A and B are shown apart, each in its own frame.
Chain A
Amino acid sequence: MSSSRDLILGRVRDALAALPKRAPLPEWDPAGARSTVAPSGADLWQAFSARLRAVNGTPLASVAELVALLESKGWRHGYCDPTLWPALKAAFPAGFTVETEFDRSRVDDYQFGITVADGAIAETGTLVLSDRGTASRLAALAPWVHVAAIRHAQIVPDLGSALTLLGDDPNVIWVTGPSKTADVEGILIEGVHGPGMQVALLLD
């Protein structure tokens, strides 16, 4: 194994030794990659909601709105992060079955999964999920509806800012709308392996 390592690195060194000079690393200001749709105003939730809607995501400003949505679709069986459930429980009327442990042998029993997001990016309508902050990776992916709970203060204006907040979490995932494909004749279909509906739920 180490011999292949040495072989490859040796070949790399040999290949580069012949270069009269090497290209320098260009310096650049991350603000330069900010797009024209990055928000300039102060209300990041409004800006985030608009971008999320643009990718067919669903921003909801209260738990009551979430419950109304789930009821209207008849989705009454789901999962909720155990740290979040005590705060949400009161808003869910009788008739809902909400589990706080995700059983991977029954992934298709859950119509929705509610987990905690670490943040959101207003520029792109993206939800930021970390490994330590997400109670179950599968619960945030397998159910048809994924609800990511966020707070106002966690929304950052642009993608560049979000990159500075990755920290040392081993698995950060940015989710920008529902899972989708255009593989079949270029026709957009949502809900391939992940959720067909991506909800951002504002907690405050």
Chain B
Amino acid sequence: MARQPIDQFVERIASEKRASVYLGTKTTHEKREKLLHDHYADPDALRRLAGGIKQHVVENLDTYLPRVEAKLKANGAQVHWAATAEEACATVHGIMTARGATKIVKAKTMVSEEIGLAEYLGSRGIESLETDLGEFIVQIDHDHPSHIVRPIIHKSRREIAKSFEREGLGDYNDDPGTITRRARAFLRKKFLQADVGITGANFVSAESGRLVIVTNEGNSRFSLAATKCHIALIGIEKVVPRDRDLGLFLNLLARSATAQQLTVYTEFISGPKSPAQPDGPEEMHVIFVDNQRTEVLASECREILRCIRCGACMNVCPVYRQASGHAYRSVYPGPVGAVLSPLLAGERFAEKADLPKASSLCGACNEVCPVDIPIPDLLLRLRDKGKREHAPLASAGTPSLGGWAVMASKPVLWKTALSAGKLMNLLPANWIPMAAAKAWTDTRTLPTWRGGEFRSWMKHRPAKGEGKGKS
């Protein structure tokens, strides 16, 4: 039986790395829990409400998307649609070419990673620089983020200090403050030289066409203060119905993601800068990206489209805590990734068919989810899909149950096995030659096996009304 790829990965993780991921996720999770319960009498009611609102949006995207588009256009933004990752990249490239632009500063956007934007533009001579500190470090190391909110949760300050030294960003110094100051100085120059700022969006209000972007570092704000053109890459599921719904989502997002009451910078952007404003984009483009989302919408896993990318599910997940993000071989790791990544793979679902099995189905991810996504249910549906489609990875690491299946589908064999089970009564309780089993059976007795008696009793049981005695 082939082992699961994720198990093989885990064996190769350095213990130091595992400890840092474990501690980082556990700390964030505990702070989140405390903050939510300190600040709200019933945070679960808020999660369910937010889930209800997002489920409504997902199931009514046909109404909301044209509404958002009309609002954005009325606000002065240009709206583009990209069916595939390739088309989304080409749209960005087209905007760049039309402006004669060659330099991009990029705030954190999961969609840009999903569509491979940096590689696409890089091969066409366009520099696209990550400006979130963690993402910047990932970029100079040619590494991949391992957490959607804390991209370098797997890196130590010593590794980062070495990378900075290698890149000519000063002598070796592993003080986090110094690392941050150096990145600030370096990236500041890049912001001011860049032609275009690329961002994602956490939410888009259908009521006003406002994009909402949250960052703690201020990188999105800096790129929208320094550059003359703003391009926002947005998954089609990011809509919320009304501005006032943002009150709910912003409160839940900051607490769930980083255990903050509110993220430091919350931007509400509805169009290019006002005429009197000297800084910021004169041109704003919004690219709505499908890239398999409509397939997910058509599937029985559409609840995953509620996701607001907070990372709370990975922070609480016992598998993520041991395996860390790279084990999932995808842009989206953790429980949400185990659902989303195989779905976004589309035709290549089979390559990620093992991910839905990277879970004990303990349900903690569902309990912390700010939009109450039933992740364990979705994982089961995807396990089923993997089996039905005969994806080899869907069976990796699964004990063969062939013998059981034969026995359970032949009544004669089944009955024989049940009666034969009585032979176990003749064995000592601790006969199983396994240390783990012995630790249990050495101090316990087993109940007497009475296999087959229930069937016999059922067959010969008194008819209704008989044997009740006097009444």
Contact = CB atoms under 8 A, between A and B. Distances in A.
Contacts of B39: 35-37
A141 B81 contact: no
A195 B216 CA distance: 11
B247 A166 contact: no
Contact of B180 (A1, A15, A55, A189): A189
Contacts of A191: 180-181, 184
Nearest to B28: A186
**Interface-centre pick from B24, B183, B217 (highest chain A CB count, 10 A):** B217
Given A9-B65, A28-B49, A137 B280 contact: yes
B280 A192 contact: no
A138 B156 contact: no
Given A4-B83, A7-B83, A186 B24 contact: yes
Nearest to A192: B217
Given A166-B268, A178-B264, A184-B160, A35 B243 contact: no
**Interface-centre pick from B49, B208, B247 (highest chain A CB count, 10 A):** B247
Contact of A193 (B65, B219, B273): B219
B225 A36 contact: no
B152 interface: yes
A169 to B, nearest CB: 7
B266 A176 contact: yes
Contact of B224 (A12, A159, A171, A180): A171
Interface in B121-174: 131-134, 137, 150-153, 156-157, 160
A107 B73 CA distance: 33
Q: How large is the interface on B (under 10, 10 to 19, 20 to 34, 35 or more residues)?
A: 35 or more
Q: How large is the interface on A (under 10, 10 to 19, 20 to 34, 35 or more residues)?
A: 35 or more
B329 interface: no
B465 interface: no
Contacts of A12: 61-62, 65, 236, 294, 297
A23 B59 CA distance: 6
A159 B266 CA distance: 12
Interface of A: 1, 4-5, 7-9, 11-16, 18-19, 22-26, 28, 30, 32-33, 35-37, 51, 55, 102, 104, 107-108, 124, 126, 131-132, 134, 136-138, 141-142, 159-160, 163-164, 166, 168-187, 189, 191-195
18 contacts: A4-B80, A12-B61, A26-B49, A28-B49, A28-B53, A30-B247, A102-B278, A104-B226, A131-B273, A134-B277, A163-B247, A171-B274, A183-B132, A183-B134, A186-B150, A193-B184, A193-B218, A193-B219
